[in-house]
Chain A
């Protein structure tokens, strides 16, 4: 069979295709097969060869149109392939990221052990802690820190979740809304368990209405303002947001434990050396009790290990040395003292005004207090650290 006409026509299509050599060859082979099959059929029907070849080529139509259509399809297929590739690549990258996260060591995922000290406790504010291992005065204990629990206690986690929710800014706009409806709506919106304390029975009922127009404030502040109007406030205990009488706020049953990482602050409190946390700043006085200008506050102190000779008594037969412990002031002591004097002073047990208590241990401030006091202490710690770090000596 003479293929001259085929070759001329196929060559024309090939030139018009503008595709790769491999694609041109494949398309050429497919079209040639079609043309040859068609010519064979026409010959079989009695047509002479020349006419059959001409007709077969003619039936294909315009070579330019065919080439353009094939080229369009090829480009569309390539785009489709690229889209599939991109989708697969994105999915693969996502999978790798998820697997990496899943296989990453727990400690590395949630920060170094030294950074997670406060997270092991109950930092209700999720404050960022940028203390690095290099500047961490507690580094000597690093090997022991690897044994810290991976998670907080479950009730602490639940309480933290509520506090995180309360930390979010929210708009509270109510115009004489029934108190029960407001509580139900908040519980639904925030996905929280809210209970009204039994001490409020008869105080808050269906007839109680609340009004508020508070925008952009953290929910904790808005809620406090809202509840104050009906002589109530809130407490967080055992994973519950409890609405309680404002008179009960300081009662031990409604106080909660809070923990605040203060290592950074302790480090920057005026010390003669960078790593003197826990070491004496200055010898205060002999005989115990208070700091300079500190009055009666204190509730215990830090004492020198080495006994000091405070007095000497003489008797007829022997000389007796009376050893008196010497109280010293540490950065922790100074911080606790300052907080109990300047932050909600009426709520602290040590001041004789309330049942809240405050300690500093391991670079963590441990409070037993109501929510408002804890928030104020947190703010104070942040502000103080800022002031000390940013002052110009």
Chain B
């Protein structure tokens, strides 16, 4: 039986899911299922974004022009691929910097309250 992993609380994740999706798409174009899978794997199973959460999020990012989509029928299965846009990359860079500062700030404040965790991945 697989070892149970403590998932991040949803409050903690709120506001960072956009950034995760943009980061995955910044590496290469992907479709929904792989985006979800890559986030799950990259977080060591700690982030489990349900498909019911992810697809509305993808559609919203597309509406905000941070990502764009295209349909591909070449594999015999109709599949929607997503790619990051220039605006999305700009947002990613900006938010990544904010997150880095936020993490450092929290690490300083929380020092003494947490146990060292093994490096993910």
**Please, which residues of chain A bring their CB within 8 A of the CB of B80?**
26, 29-30, 33
Size range of the chain A interface in the assembly: 20 to 34
Q: Does B79 contact A (CB under 8 A)?
A: yes
Nearest to A34 among chain B residues (CB) is B33
Q: Does B90 contact A (CB under 8 A)?
A: no
In residues 74-96 of chain B, which contact A (Cβ within 8 Å)?
77-80
Nearest to B48 among chain A residues (CB) is A59
Nearest to B62 among chain A residues (CB) is A77
Give the B interface residue count (CB, 8 A): 21
Please determine whether A31 and B55 come into contact, CB atoms closer than 8 angstroms: yes
Q: Does B51 contact A (CB under 8 A)?
A: yes
Query: What 1/0 flags go to A72-87 for Cβ under 8 Å of B?
Result: 1110110011000000
A30-B32, A30-B80 known; A80-B64 Cβ under 8 A = yes
Scoring B52, B63, B77, B80 by chain A CB atoms within 10 A of each residue's CB, the highest score goes to B52
A33-B31, A33-B79, A37-B33 known; A80-B63 Cβ under 8 A = yes
Q: Does A62 contact B (CB under 8 A)?
A: yes
Please determine whether B52 and A33 come into contact, CB atoms closer than 8 angstroms: no
A29-B78, A29-B80, A80-B64 known; A34-B51 Cβ under 8 A = yes
**Please, which residues of chain B bring their CB within 8 A of the CB of A74?**
59
In the complex, A30→B32 CA distance in Å?
8
Stretch of A63-71, A188-196, A241-249 contacting B (4+ beta carbons < 8 Å)? A63-71
Q: Does A346 contact B (CB under 8 A)?
A: no
Please determine whether B56 and A66 come into contact, CB atoms closer than 8 angstroms: yes
16 other contacts beyond A61-B51, A66-B51, with CB at 8 A cut-off? Answer: A26-B71, A30-B32, A30-B79, A31-B51, A33-B31, A33-B78, A33-B79, A33-B80, A34-B36, A36-B77, A38-B33, A60-B51, A61-B53, A69-B52, A73-B63, A76-B63
In the complex, A31→B34 CA distance in Å?
13
Tell me whether chain B's interface is mostly helix, strand or loop, or mixed.
Answer: helix
Query: What 1/0 flags go to B48-70 for Cβ under 8 Å of A?
Result: 00111101100110111000000
Please determine whether B55 and A30 come into contact, CB atoms closer than 8 angstroms: yes
Please determine whether A77 and B63 come into contact, CB atoms closer than 8 angstroms: yes
In residues 16-43 of chain B, which contact A (Cβ within 8 Å)?
31-34, 36
26 A-B interface contacts by CB (under 8 A)? A26-B71, A29-B71, A29-B80, A30-B32, A30-B55, A31-B55, A33-B31, A33-B32, A33-B77, A33-B79, A33-B80, A34-B55, A36-B77, A60-B50, A60-B51, A60-B52, A61-B52, A66-B55, A69-B52, A69-B53, A70-B55, A70-B56, A74-B59, A76-B60, A77-B62, A77-B63
